Chains A and B, each alone.
Chain A
Amino acid sequence: DTEVTQTPKHLVMGMTNKKSLKCEQHMGHRAMYWYKQKAKKPPELMFVYSYEKLSINESVPSRFSPECPNSSLLNLHLHALQPEDSALYLCASSQAPQSGHNSPLHFGNGTRLTVT
């Protein structure tokens, strides 16, 4: 069983919809990440939160809006997406960055998003 929980597992949304992806971890990790993965491609970094603050935004379009309400939760709000945004969205967490970056990422099972 994964220690990073993502909901929903699958999501189908229209281009005018607003939806949210949710991620939760209870490992005490203070860094949380959103990755996007297209079929047969590596995960592509979108956002990094460190101590609940947004540290890295990889020039992601504003139709993706991340939120970190507390150290255990990470959301990704979606609005006016395009069909090309269809992908597997992976949440991950790691130990506090300042403690050294030798901690592997712990991934959730992902949300498979289809935009119609």
Chain B
Amino acid sequence: ELKVEQNPLFLSMQEGKNYTIYCNYSTTSDRLYWYRQDPGKSLESLFVLLSNGAVKQEGRLMASLDTKARLSTLHITAAVHDLSATYFCAVTVPTSGTYKYIFGTGTRLKVLA
């Protein structure tokens, strides 16, 4: 059974601090996605990582992918309150001629002023 696990599940951090969220997955997948979800809202795509060693950066967020270790990281630099949200990673699994997108357990991030 495919498992996509994130840790930590909940993260409370001070503004200005750095931290990393980890996403481990149990299947061979060379595509990984990061999404953000604000409370009561839908999911917004942040990053698409397409190959081993891929690194993407947008503002204070940087995502990387190690397909050999089946691990992706989302690094937060100098956190600000606006980054408070739930972050999900997702992997794709080929199934029945199409692809499933399976989401990780999620990390609820709270940035304290």
A-side residues, CB < 8 A to B, are 2, 31, 33, 40-45, 48, 50, 55-56, 90, 92, 94, 97, 101-110
Contact = CB atoms under 8 A, between A and B. Distances in A.
Given A45-B100, A45-B101, A50-B98, A107 B106 contact: no
A2 B44 CA distance: 9
A28 to B, nearest CB: 16
B76 interface: no
A23 to B, nearest CB: 12
Contacts, number: 67
A101 B42 contact: no
Contact of B50 (A41, A50, A102): A102
12 contacts: A2-B42, A31-B98, A33-B101, A42-B88, A42-B105, A43-B43, A45-B102, A48-B95, A55-B98, A102-B48, A102-B50, A105-B90
Contacts of B96: 55-56
4 closest pairs, A vs B, by CB?
Answer: A42-B103, A104-B45, A50-B98, A97-B98
Interface in B14-49: 31, 33, 35, 41-45, 48
Contacts of A42: 88, 103-106
Nearest to A109: B42
Interface of B: 31, 33, 35, 41-45, 48, 50, 88, 90, 92, 94-106, 108
B92 A108 contact: no
Contact of B42 (A33, A45, A50, A110): A110
Nearest to B29: A101
Contacts of B100: 45, 48, 56
A5 to B, nearest CB: 11
